[in-house]
Structure 1
Amino acid sequence: MASKSSTSIARRARTRAEADFATWLMMAKLGSFDTLPENAQKVLNGYRERLDRMSEIESKAIAVRETYQAYYSDMGGTGDAPEPEPRSPAPADRSEGAVDNVVRFKKPQKPKVTRTADRGARPVSPSGARRPVPALLIFAALCAIVVAWKFLTK
């Protein structure tokens, strides 16, 4: 059984390898392959060569595994990098045929509008508390009071 520190190193190395590979792949697709570090270019070249022989998912898994092993040893892990624990299944909103690299955006919920019986009443925030008076309004009221005081005392 792996020690707690090697498990922590393995988890961080795996996360970093997955993120870096995705970043490198996107940069290469956007035409910035030549600006990538030498190790990134090496991993992507191997990934491209394997695409001729196997599926994209298998090639990606091998490329991430190679990067993970390199990061594991760089972060102080000893021996071979342990196999990562399988991740828990995604939330129930994922359909059966969903692709892992698809990002789904959720629309923000519109704030609920509360209607007041009295139209002249002060607006109330959605949480039910009164809205604070804006600082500019307070400043204008104070200026008006000072001007009125000066005018009335002369």
Structure 2
Amino acid sequence: MAKTNASIAKKARAKAEADFATWLMMAKLGSFEDLPANAQEFLSRYRARFGEMSEAKSKTVAVSEIYLTYYKEMGGTGTAPEPEPRPLSKSPTDDNVVKFQKPRKPDKPAKPAGPAAAKRPIPALLIFAGMVALIAAYKFLAG
């Protein structure tokens, strides 16, 4: 039976973490009233704890409350086992931060030596102006 309680605890913990993150994001986006009543209660208690403790500690307590509720609802018996400690990130804010990196510029090919190095591409506007001048000259001379 302990193995069953352990698997229930693992599922309850994962669901609690996912639900809390979802509820918190929905509340931040202005959809607090659209959440189920139990979610609103958990988030209200979470917000009330801000004055007493840090945000990270408040989140931990809220997820633990949700976990205990889910553990009982999923049929866990006895005291809910403590979840396995999660690996710590480099800093407490890394959990919710997505870091964007600029794409690396490809290395430029080596410039060829000799006469090919002296050639520069001709701008498109210069080519267009030359074509217009040729057409105008042809019409003037032909007509």
Shorter-chain TM range is 0.5 to 0.7
Q: 2:64 aligns to what? A: 65
Which TM-score applies when normalising by structure 1? Answer: 0.60
Asked if 1:103 corresponds to 2:102, the answer is: no
Greater Rg by CA: 2
In structure 2, C-alpha distance between the alignment counterparts of 1:96 and 1:29, rounded to whole Å = 22
What SS does the corresponding residue of 1:82 show, helix, strand or coil? coil
CA offset digits 1:6-58 (Å, max 9, x no partner): 11110100000000000000000000000000000000000000001110011
Distance 1:6 1:97 in 2: 30
- Give the unaligned 5+ runs of structure 1: 109-154
| Equivalence map 1:28-47=2 (5 Å) | 28-47=27-46
For residues 62-89 of structure 1, give each alpha carbon's deviation from its aligned partner in whole angstroms, at most 9, with x where no partner exists.
1000000000000010122111011245
Match of 1:151 in 2: none
Give the alignment's Cα RMSD to 1 decimal. Answer: 2.4
Q: Which amino acid aligns with 2:94?
A: V
SS of corresponding position for 1:100 = helix
Structure 1 residues 33 and 89: alpha-carbon distance in aligned structure 2, compared to 1, 3 A threshold:
closer
How does 1:5-154 map onto structure 2 within 5 Å?
5-88=4-87, 95=90, 99-104=94-99
Shift of 1:105: 6.1
Judged with a 3 Å threshold, the aligned counterparts in structure 2 of structure 1 residues 8 and 53 are, in CA distance, closer, same or farther, namely: same
Distance 2:22 2:92 in 1: 24
Aligned residues: 104
| Paired-residue identity, % | 60
> 3-state DSSP class of the match of 1:84?
coil
Separation in structure 1 between the aligned mates of residue 62 and residue 35 of structure 2, nearest angstrom:
16
What amino acid maps onto 2:48 in structure 1?
Answer: E
Ranked by relative contact order (alpha carbons within 8 Å, sequence separation 6 or more), the top structure is 2
Shift of 1:106: 7.8
Q: Per the alignment, in what secondary structure is the counterpart of residue 47 of structure 2?
A: helix
